[in-house]
Structure 1
Amino acid sequence: MKKFNSFILHNVDIYLFFISLVIKILIFSRQIQSNYFSYKSILSPIIASTLILCSFLFLINKRKRIRFIMFLDLFLSFIIICDINYYRYFKDIPSISVVRNGLLLGDVKSSVGSLFKFSDLLFLADLAIFFIIKEFYNHISSKNQFLSMKFASFALVLSLGCVLNGYYINKLSIEQPRLLSTMFNRVYIANELGIVNAHGVDIYNEIKNDISKHTLLSKEKEADIKTFLETNTEQESTELKGEGKGKNLIMIQVEALQQFAINKTVNGQEITPNLNRWIKKSAYFNNFFYQVSGGGTSDAEFMTNNSIYPAPSGAAYYLYSDNEYNSLGTALKKEGYNTAAFHGYKSTFWNRDVMYKNEGIDNFYNERDFNIDSQVGLGLSDKSFLDQSLEKIKTMQKPYYSFLITLSSHFPYDDQKGYGNFYNGELSGTLVGDYINAIHYTDEALGSFLDNLDKEGILKDSIVVLYGDHNAIPDDKKEVLAKFEGVSSINDLQWAMLQKVPMFIHFPDDKHSGIYDTFGGEMDIYPTLANIFSIESKNMLGKDLFNATKGNVLFRNGSFTDGNIYYHAPSNTYYNIASGEKLAEDESLKSKKEDTLTQLEYSDDILKHNLLKKYIDDSN
């Protein structure tokens, strides 16, 4: 009994660390799984992964160990705090690639600061307990355990943790084949296995992927991908074929523009009166979704200019900037177009200065090329940016492709100083209230720009594409958005349908105006424009929206919709969109899910192995 009591006392710091870490991970899991959280289902995998971490502590001498535990506790708490804040905005778990990219993103302090909550610091509260234990250990004398006892404790705890962990990981891999190898849904993995396992699997896959980049893809897999690319775009498009041939293309990517603000009024006034007006004069796609991943704005640019899915983690603009692409700019240059991109921020942000060259962009007008005479949020105000961009566009030799990215409506939407306060309703001071003011300002700037294009006579020879890049309101603010929408709560299906962004294509003389109901996303813009401008439409994963017979939209986390059903990957749930009812998985739905994973996997292989270079070389 004395030996047992001595053993307990000798290792009390390990037991407290184990209990503390399990509680922290449970709290974290509760925050990212509010609708489906179950202590019973998540507790065992969390205990298993924590046992593995704690097993190594038995090998360290007691006085050194308490210091190491304090460091480890601080490190893990910091990771959990980062994970929570990342999840609040991106609705995802950060990966190793995201961490790599984050070091290169520049100054986004205002966005990060607005997500952080003071209560997050409670994850560090247990450090006080470990400090007390450290002081207690410093004032008592005790012999270290025998080496055999240390190894026995280590081996026992490690074995138990590995057996339990292996069971739960294997169980998940059977229930969700390819989930752990593709990491297409990190949130689901964290919900099923705990955040420690989620990061562990991510690290394993990151190492494996780094190795696989230097290995050859099998000839069979390479042929399968090539065949899919050929058959995906082989159907002859007839509607609007060559409608824009020889005309200028002006494409505008609007920061955080979401559809719920379109044609909506507050206090009797339209939030986006100018966009509402131009939508009526254009081909407007009212079931259009953003499809970005961890690359945010850069992912939207990547998809619209390449029709390839973004990287499963991190940003393709960093990870694959040296790949060869059959980009929109490159295809138009072959037709004699001059190409330019415009953005009022740093040229290095999102690695644009490197990536644009690889996407066939001749000139990149960035922060250095504009007079920063007024700032809103991160940089040059949209009004000044668009006015100055117009002057530069007027000097471009026709035909040209101009790609513009706005900035003022960037999260957290609280810097419209000096531009009036459009909204003063009950949501004032909330993120949604600030967003209404921000997007109203951007709408005014866009309206002025489009009107000036018309006055200058540019529109008679140009096709204009305008779309939103990604969501504006993060998931943790859905209750506030529900209040704005006039509903008591928002379920997963309703939330998914709120992730639509406006997209319209304006033709000269307002031709082809109207509402188009086809379900689509950012992947589909390039194939649609390829048909309109009669340029080569090879090696694309999207579809032509004017000629598509199906409305398939795939999302990076494995969710998808075909316009009739919606699959919510984080909860592994199918919905009938029309009725809102949940559907039981049958062979047809399972096949659609498998097809989604296959296409995402094909896209990943294209990026990892730079396959387009090979396909392009083979066709020349």
Structure 2
Amino acid sequence: MSKLNLFFLSFLDVIFFVVCVTFKILIYGRHMETGYIKTSSLFIPAIAPVIIAVSLSLVLKVKTRSRILYIFNIVISSFIVSDIIYFRYFKDIISLPVLISGFQLGAVKSSVSSLIDLKDFLYFADIVLIIPFINRYVRNIKYNFDLNYKIPIAVLLLFMGITLDFKSFYGLSKEQPRLLSTMYNKVYITRKLGILNYHCLDIYNSISANITKLTPVSREKLEDINAFMDNNKSDNKKLKGYAKGKNLIMIQVEALQEFVIDASINGQEITPNLNRWMKRSEYFDNFYYQVAAGGTSDAEFMTNNSMYPASAGAVYFLYSGNEFNAMPENFKNNGYSTAAFHGFRENFWNRDIMYKKFGFDNFYGEKSYKKDESIGLGLSDRSFLEQSLTKLNNMKQPYYAFLITLTSHYPYDAVDKYGDFDVGDLNGTLLGNYLKAIHYTDEQLGMFLDSLDKNGTLENSVVMLYGDHYAIPKDKEQQLFKFLDMSSASDVDWEKLQKVPLLVHFPDESVKGVNDTYGGEMDIYPTVCNLFDLPGKNMFGKDLFNPKNQRVIFRNGSFIDENYYYSAQDDVYYSVRTRKKLPENSSLKKEKDSTLDQLGYSDYILRHDAIDKLNK
């Protein structure tokens, strides 16, 4: 046997590792790609870190090397499958802070299992069917090349891998200078650098962020943030103090999206009660959820603090030791009693700790309710709202009550308990099940609001009701398009489908109508401060009745207003009116830079627990 053939056979495990892992990363890259990045550009960032890993293994003994590469293959394939499953619902990539709080998924196993596709496990096929036999064959070859041969090859491969990787990192740093350090757009990083480089970068930045927490707060940075906060304040003229002294009943509805409002199926209204109350309220029809990895907890955090979610993971876990200028504390300082209501475990999402931090006097969680009817994850919305009504009646007025519903939680699989709402051809689909779930929740909300009306509570109360986040993940978009009679949708159309309802009901229905102002969950707290004449400071949102600008910013760096939509995941600008792409100009770049500044300011406050240091 020639030395060349012997060399090839001796390193068969290495060759198959490079081929199989690179192939899997490229397939994964195509899965994440949406048509804005050429396939050829995915190859170098995919193979470069693989070459680096291989170069480091070449100097090891054959048996050790094959085992190390086998373990690498398992780890990389696990990351790929986990990322795909996570992306399927959250439209984002897993990060280390997400994994830290990942135990929360244990309570929503049905939600996770419904996202798994058996085809995902084809990524492990080579690990089970091919690689073990190749490794066994390589180990049986008695010839072992001298280090004098292996070291030069290893050094050459290491240099080549680092050079190729440097080119990818450098190119992305030039294209988007702040992206590599802030990680605000994890999907775009993964598309441009590949999954291995992304996860290495994520680990590095996570460690770096924890070290940064220990560094002193920059006075210059605080001055920049203060200057932004001062400039961001709305000129509160309209409805200033209009609800002063009234109760506030805030209802956050699980997975309530705007497309179901005023919509019908088979001649039946999907949300007849919300449709009815919408006409009796101020209804915001351009209102967006702004959540990130924290899901429902992010919505709660934004609503009560007017700060952005964490760049990765959930604020409720990562920053539970921080101080906040939260809405409940603000109300309490002005003579209100405050309480939060949710029919699920008190420690889920760390609520039992965070609600105290926010200043709630009481938190009525699972243990405060009689669990007489369970649907889906826990206590049914019917029982939850009925029992909450009794608790509300016993609260000292004026009060701020914050209620979070549960039954319409993904994956909407309790179809036998939602009633007999007919969804026709959508029966058995995710969208069909969702329509049944949200129709059920609508019925319970209708009875709850009607009860508040009949017992006279609404005569002295403002009710704010909104959806926390999306219901239909992107991989089920075709079901949604079919329901809405859309053959396809542009990126702008899809973003507009991410709206959630917001209605504000005033005593005597003195203010009502459709309000076209663009807003999001960040804007609820400043709006409340204006209506109830509360002191408002250190908030990133705007008063929806006195908007200074109408830009809605999302955690990944995207933004939308009445004129433009910027998709950070693709780095593309669009006209909202024409849906067509636009070239970047100085005005759009200024908006983009301002967006990143705001996200960076919010991150800085969280990481340094700096809310109390502002204005000092």
Quote the Cα distance in structure 2 between the aligned partners of 1:411 and 1:256: 8
Quote the Cα distance in structure 1 between the aligned partners of 2:308 and 2:5: 58
After TM superposition, list the pairs within 5 Å mapping 1:254-273 onto structure 2.
Answer: 254-273=253-272
Quote the Cα distance in structure 1 between the aligned partners of 2:141 and 2:545: 80
Gaps of 5+ in 1: none
Following superposition, the deviation at residue 72 of structure 1 comes to: 2.0
Following superposition, the deviation at residue 74 of structure 1 comes to: 1.6
After TM superposition, list the pairs within 5 Å mapping 1:38-437 onto structure 2.
Answer: 38-127=38-127, 128-138=129-139, 140-233=140-233, 235-437=234-436
Paired residue for 2:564? 565
8 Å Cα contact 2:250-2:402 kept in structure 1: yes
After TM superposition, list the pairs within 5 Å mapping 1:507-522 onto structure 2.
Answer: 507-522=506-521
Following superposition, the deviation at residue 377 of structure 1 comes to: 1.0
Deviations 1:12-47 (A, max 9, x none): 101101111111111111112143353211111111
Following superposition, the deviation at residue 472 of structure 1 comes to: 0.5
8 Å Cα contact 2:11-2:138 kept in structure 1: no
Following superposition, the deviation at residue 421 of structure 1 comes to: 2.9
> 3-state DSSP class of the match of 1:518?
strand
Quote the Cα distance in structure 2 between the aligned partners of 1:385 and 1:333: 25
Paired residue for 2:526? 527
Following superposition, the deviation at residue 510 of structure 1 comes to: 1.2
Quote the Cα distance in structure 2 between the aligned partners of 1:154 and 1:374: 64
Following superposition, the deviation at residue 489 of structure 1 comes to: 1.3
Quote the Cα distance in structure 1 between the aligned partners of 2:304 and 2:280: 24
Paired residue for 2:493? 494
Quote the Cα distance in structure 2 between the aligned partners of 1:380 and 1:520: 31
Question: Counterpart amino acid of 1:287?
Answer: N
Following superposition, the deviation at residue 420 of structure 1 comes to: 1.8
Q: Does 1:585 align with 2:580?
A: no
8 Å Cα contact 1:465-1:505 kept in structure 2: yes
Give the alignment's TM-score, normalised by structure 1.
0.97
Quote the Cα distance in structure 2 between the aligned partners of 1:199 and 1:68: 19
Question: Counterpart amino acid of 1:294?
Answer: A
Q: Does 1:29 align with 2:29?
A: yes
Give the alignment's TM-score, normalised by structure 2.
0.98
Quote the Cα distance in structure 1 between the aligned partners of 2:398 and 2:452: 15
Following superposition, the deviation at residue 400 of structure 1 comes to: 0.7
> 3-state DSSP class of the match of 2:396?
coil
> 3-state DSSP class of the match of 1:563?
coil
Following superposition, the deviation at residue 106 of structure 1 comes to: 3.8
Q: Does 1:461 align with 2:457?
A: no
Quote the Cα distance in structure 1 between the aligned partners of 2:202 and 2:300: 26
Quote the Cα distance in structure 2 between the aligned partners of 1:599 and 1:499: 22
8 Å Cα contact 2:418-2:437 kept in structure 1: no
Deviations 1:449-472 (A, max 9, x none): 101111111100110000000010
Quote the Cα distance in structure 1 between the aligned partners of 2:477 and 2:514: 27
8 Å Cα contact 1:272-1:439 kept in structure 2: yes
Larger deviation: 35-44 or 441-450?
A: 35-44
Question: Counterpart amino acid of 1:54?
Answer: V
8 Å Cα contact 1:290-1:471 kept in structure 2: yes
Question: Counterpart amino acid of 2:285?
Answer: N
Quote the Cα distance in structure 2 between the aligned partners of 1:544 and 1:563: 17
Question: Counterpart amino acid of 1:461?
Answer: N
> 3-state DSSP class of the match of 1:103?
helix
Q: Percent identity?
A: 52
> 3-state DSSP class of the match of 2:416?
coil
Paired residue for 2:593? 594
> 3-state DSSP class of the match of 2:466?
strand
> 3-state DSSP class of the match of 1:257?
coil
8 Å Cα contact 2:18-2:50 kept in structure 1: yes
Larger deviation: 37-46 or 543-552?
A: 37-46
> 3-state DSSP class of the match of 1:59?
coil
Following superposition, the deviation at residue 246 of structure 1 comes to: 0.7
CA RMSD of aligned residues (A): 1.3
Following superposition, the deviation at residue 104 of structure 1 comes to: 4.0
Following superposition, the deviation at residue 144 of structure 1 comes to: 2.3
Quote the Cα distance in structure 1 between the aligned partners of 2:117 and 2:60: 35
The structure-2 alpha-carbon separation of the partners of 1:373 and 1:30, relative to structure 1 and needing over 3 Å to count, comes to: same
Larger deviation: 216-225 or 140-149?
A: 140-149
Runs of 4+ in 1 over 4 A off after TM superposition: none
Quote the Cα distance in structure 1 between the aligned partners of 2:355 and 2:224: 29
Larger deviation: 488-497 or 2-11?
A: 2-11
The structure-2 alpha-carbon separation of the partners of 1:37 and 1:589, relative to structure 1 and needing over 3 Å to count, comes to: closer
Quote the Cα distance in structure 2 between the aligned partners of 1:103 and 1:59: 39
8 Å Cα contact 2:346-2:366 kept in structure 1: yes
8 Å Cα contact 1:275-1:443 kept in structure 2: yes
Deviations 1:325-349 (A, max 9, x none): 1100010000111110000111111
> 3-state DSSP class of the match of 2:130?
helix
> 3-state DSSP class of the match of 2:101?
helix
8 Å Cα contact 1:105-1:350 kept in structure 2: no
Quote the Cα distance in structure 1 between the aligned partners of 2:548 and 2:230: 17
Following superposition, the deviation at residue 69 of structure 1 comes to: 2.4
Gaps of 5+ in 2: none
Quote the Cα distance in structure 1 between the aligned partners of 2:52 and 2:138: 25
Quote the Cα distance in structure 1 between the aligned partners of 2:223 and 2:414: 51
Q: Does 1:10 align with 2:10?
A: yes
8 Å Cα contact 1:105-1:349 kept in structure 2: no
Deviations 1:472-500 (A, max 9, x none): 01111111111111111122111101000
Following superposition, the deviation at residue 227 of structure 1 comes to: 1.7
Quote the Cα distance in structure 2 between the aligned partners of 1:246 and 1:416: 42
Question: Counterpart amino acid of 1:144?
Answer: N
Question: Counterpart amino acid of 2:134?
Answer: I
Quote the Cα distance in structure 2 between the aligned partners of 1:602 and 1:51: 38
Quote the Cα distance in structure 2 between the aligned partners of 1:279 and 1:514: 8
Following superposition, the deviation at residue 105 of structure 1 comes to: 4.6
Following superposition, the deviation at residue 427 of structure 1 comes to: 1.7
Following superposition, the deviation at residue 236 of structure 1 comes to: 3.3
Quote the Cα distance in structure 1 between the aligned partners of 2:43 and 2:206: 26
Paired residue for 1:448? 447
> Aligned pair count?
615
Following superposition, the deviation at residue 275 of structure 1 comes to: 0.4
Following superposition, the deviation at residue 9 of structure 1 comes to: 1.4
